[in-house]
Protein backbone atom coordinates (compact mmCIF):
# COMPACT_ATOMS: atom_id res chain seq x y z
CA UNK A 1 0.00 0.00 0.00
CA UNK A 2 1.27 3.45 -0.87
CA UNK A 3 2.72 5.43 2.01
CA UNK A 4 1.54 8.95 2.46
CA UNK A 5 -0.25 11.34 4.75
CA UNK A 6 -3.20 9.87 6.58
CA UNK A 7 -6.81 10.91 6.15
CA UNK A 8 -7.08 11.13 9.94
CA UNK A 9 -4.26 13.71 9.97
CA UNK A 10 -5.89 15.64 7.09
CA UNK A 11 -9.22 15.66 8.96
CA UNK A 12 -7.52 16.94 12.12
CA UNK A 13 -5.82 19.71 10.15
CA UNK A 14 -9.18 20.67 8.58
CA UNK A 15 -10.91 21.24 11.90
CA UNK A 16 -10.97 17.85 13.55
CA UNK A 17 -13.97 15.98 14.90
CA UNK A 18 -16.34 18.96 14.87
CA UNK A 19 -15.70 19.63 11.17
CA UNK A 20 -16.27 15.95 10.34
CA UNK A 21 -19.43 15.82 12.44
CA UNK A 22 -20.85 18.84 10.60
CA UNK A 23 -20.20 17.40 7.14
CA UNK A 24 -22.79 15.27 5.34
CA UNK A 25 -20.45 14.34 2.49
CA UNK A 26 -16.73 13.61 2.55
CA UNK A 27 -14.76 13.63 -0.72
CA UNK A 28 -11.38 11.92 -0.98
CA UNK A 29 -9.25 12.55 -4.07
CA UNK A 30 -6.00 10.74 -4.98
CA UNK A 31 -7.23 8.01 -2.62
CA UNK A 32 -4.44 5.59 -3.56
CA UNK A 33 -1.98 7.70 -1.56
CA UNK A 34 -3.75 7.42 1.83
CA UNK A 35 -2.67 4.37 3.85
CA UNK A 36 -5.73 4.61 6.13
CA UNK A 37 -8.23 4.87 3.25
CA UNK A 38 -10.28 1.75 4.04
CA UNK A 39 -10.55 2.30 7.79
CA UNK A 40 -11.30 6.01 7.45
CA UNK A 41 -13.86 5.71 4.63
CA UNK A 42 -15.69 2.70 6.11
CA UNK A 43 -15.69 4.30 9.56
CA UNK A 44 -17.12 7.54 8.17
CA UNK A 45 -19.84 5.69 6.27
CA UNK A 46 -20.68 2.91 8.76
CA UNK A 47 -20.29 4.63 12.12
CA UNK A 48 -20.59 8.25 11.05
CA UNK A 49 -23.45 7.90 8.55
CA UNK A 50 -21.56 9.99 6.00
CA UNK A 51 -21.71 9.80 2.24
CA UNK A 52 -18.12 9.19 1.19
CA UNK A 53 -17.01 9.91 -2.38
CA UNK A 54 -13.66 8.40 -3.32
CA UNK A 55 -11.62 9.07 -6.45
CA UNK A 56 -8.34 7.32 -7.09
CA UNK A 57 -6.40 4.83 -9.14
CA UNK A 58 -7.01 1.14 -8.50
CA UNK A 59 -3.90 0.04 -10.40
CA UNK A 60 -0.44 1.41 -11.09
CA UNK A 61 1.48 1.62 -14.36
CA UNK A 62 2.35 -2.09 -14.04
CA UNK A 63 -1.38 -2.97 -13.57
CA UNK A 64 -0.73 -3.98 -9.98
CA UNK A 65 -3.00 -2.91 -7.08
CA UNK A 66 -2.27 0.65 -6.00
CA UNK A 67 -3.01 1.74 -2.46
CA UNK A 68 -6.24 0.74 -0.76
CA UNK A 69 -8.72 1.55 -3.54
CA UNK A 70 -9.21 -2.10 -4.53
CA UNK A 71 -9.68 -3.13 -0.90
CA UNK A 72 -12.38 -0.48 -0.51
CA UNK A 73 -14.55 -1.81 -3.37
CA UNK A 74 -16.37 -4.52 -1.34
CA UNK A 75 -17.52 -1.80 1.09
CA UNK A 76 -18.96 0.49 -1.61
CA UNK A 77 -22.67 1.07 -2.24
CA UNK A 78 -21.94 2.22 -5.78
CA UNK A 79 -18.90 1.99 -8.03
CA UNK A 80 -18.31 4.01 -11.17
CA UNK A 81 -15.13 3.17 -13.04
CA UNK A 82 -14.14 5.96 -15.35
CA UNK A 83 -11.91 5.77 -18.41
CA UNK A 84 -9.68 8.23 -20.14
CA UNK A 85 -8.79 8.47 -23.83
CA UNK A 86 -5.87 6.50 -25.27
CA UNK A 87 -2.97 8.84 -26.05
CA UNK A 88 -2.16 6.76 -29.14
CA UNK A 89 -5.44 5.88 -30.85
CA UNK A 90 -8.23 7.73 -29.03
CA UNK A 91 -10.00 4.57 -27.80
CA UNK A 92 -11.24 4.16 -24.24
CA UNK A 93 -8.21 3.96 -21.92
CA UNK A 94 -8.26 2.08 -18.61
CA UNK A 95 -4.49 1.81 -18.12
CA UNK A 96 -1.50 4.10 -17.80
CA UNK A 97 2.08 3.75 -18.93
CA UNK A 98 5.09 5.58 -17.62
CA UNK A 99 6.79 7.58 -20.35
CA UNK A 100 10.25 7.15 -18.82
CA UNK A 101 11.76 5.02 -16.07
CA UNK A 102 11.23 7.78 -13.53
CA UNK A 103 14.84 8.87 -13.64
CA UNK A 104 14.58 11.38 -16.49
CA UNK A 105 16.70 9.20 -18.78
CA UNK A 106 15.69 7.42 -21.97
CA UNK A 107 12.99 9.72 -23.31
CA UNK A 108 10.27 8.49 -25.61
CA UNK A 109 11.20 8.17 -29.29
CA UNK A 110 10.42 11.19 -31.50
CA UNK A 111 6.91 10.99 -32.92
CA UNK A 112 5.77 8.34 -30.41
CA UNK A 113 3.99 9.01 -27.13
CA UNK A 114 5.29 5.68 -25.75
CA UNK A 115 8.75 4.25 -25.14
CA UNK A 116 8.64 0.44 -25.27
CA UNK A 117 9.57 -1.09 -21.93
CA UNK A 118 9.24 2.11 -19.91
CA UNK A 119 5.94 0.95 -18.43
CA UNK A 120 7.66 -1.68 -16.32
CA UNK A 121 10.66 0.23 -14.98
CA UNK A 122 11.28 2.29 -11.85
CA UNK A 123 9.56 2.84 -8.52
CA UNK A 124 5.79 2.61 -8.08
CA UNK A 125 5.37 6.34 -7.48
CA UNK A 126 7.00 9.05 -9.55
CA UNK A 127 5.38 12.45 -9.14
CA UNK A 128 4.20 13.88 -12.43
CA UNK A 129 1.33 14.27 -14.82
CA UNK A 130 1.21 14.14 -18.60
CA UNK A 131 4.98 14.62 -18.62
CA UNK A 132 5.44 11.25 -16.90
CA UNK A 133 2.36 9.14 -17.69
CA UNK A 134 -0.01 8.49 -20.59
CA UNK A 135 -3.45 6.91 -20.56
CA UNK A 136 -3.67 3.98 -22.98
CA UNK A 137 -6.07 1.30 -24.18
CA UNK A 138 -5.36 -2.40 -23.61
CA UNK A 139 -3.74 -2.87 -27.03
CA UNK A 140 -1.31 0.03 -26.58
CA UNK A 141 -0.55 -0.96 -22.98
CA UNK A 142 0.43 -4.42 -24.23
CA UNK A 143 2.42 -2.87 -27.07
CA UNK A 144 4.31 -0.56 -24.71
CA UNK A 145 5.06 -3.33 -22.19
CA UNK A 146 5.79 -6.07 -24.69
CA UNK A 147 2.82 -7.96 -23.27
CA UNK A 148 4.53 -8.24 -19.88
CA UNK A 149 2.12 -6.34 -17.62
CA UNK A 150 1.51 -7.80 -14.16
CA UNK A 151 -1.52 -9.78 -15.31
CA UNK A 152 0.13 -11.26 -18.42
CA UNK A 153 2.61 -13.70 -16.91
CA UNK A 154 2.78 -17.31 -15.85
CA UNK A 155 -0.06 -19.75 -16.42
CA UNK A 156 -2.60 -17.23 -17.69
CA UNK A 157 -0.37 -16.11 -20.57
CA UNK A 158 0.47 -19.68 -21.55
CA UNK A 159 -3.21 -20.68 -21.53
CA UNK A 160 -4.13 -17.77 -23.80
CA UNK A 161 -1.20 -18.53 -26.10
CA UNK A 162 -2.45 -22.12 -26.42
CA UNK A 163 -6.01 -20.96 -27.11
CA UNK A 164 -4.78 -18.52 -29.76
CA UNK A 165 -2.79 -21.30 -31.44
CA UNK A 166 -5.79 -23.65 -31.76
CA UNK A 167 -7.49 -23.76 -35.16
CA UNK A 168 -10.90 -22.14 -35.30
CA UNK A 169 -13.84 -24.58 -35.24
CA UNK A 170 -15.31 -25.32 -38.65
CA UNK A 171 -18.97 -24.68 -39.35
CA UNK A 172 -20.94 -27.78 -40.36
Rounded distance between C-alpha atoms, residue 87 and residue 140, angstroms:
9
User: Is the Cα torsion angle 115, 117, 120, 121 positive or negative in sign?
Assistant: negative
Q: Is 30 a catalytic residue?
A: yes
Distances (CA, A) of 65 to 47, 56, 57, 150: 27, 12, 9, 10
**Burial zone of 118 (CB within 10 Å; 0-12 exposed, 13-18 middle, 19+ buried):** buried
Residue 98: name the closest of 123, 80, 78 by CA: 123
Task: Say if CB 135 and CB 87 are below 8 A apart.
Answer: yes
Catalytic residue among 30, 78, 121, 166: 30
* Catalytic residue list: 30
Amino acid sequence: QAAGPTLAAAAAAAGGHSALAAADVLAIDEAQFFPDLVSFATGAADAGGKTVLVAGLDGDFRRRPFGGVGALLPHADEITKLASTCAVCGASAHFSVRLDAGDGDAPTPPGSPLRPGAALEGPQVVVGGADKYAAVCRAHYNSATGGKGADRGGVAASVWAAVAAEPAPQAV
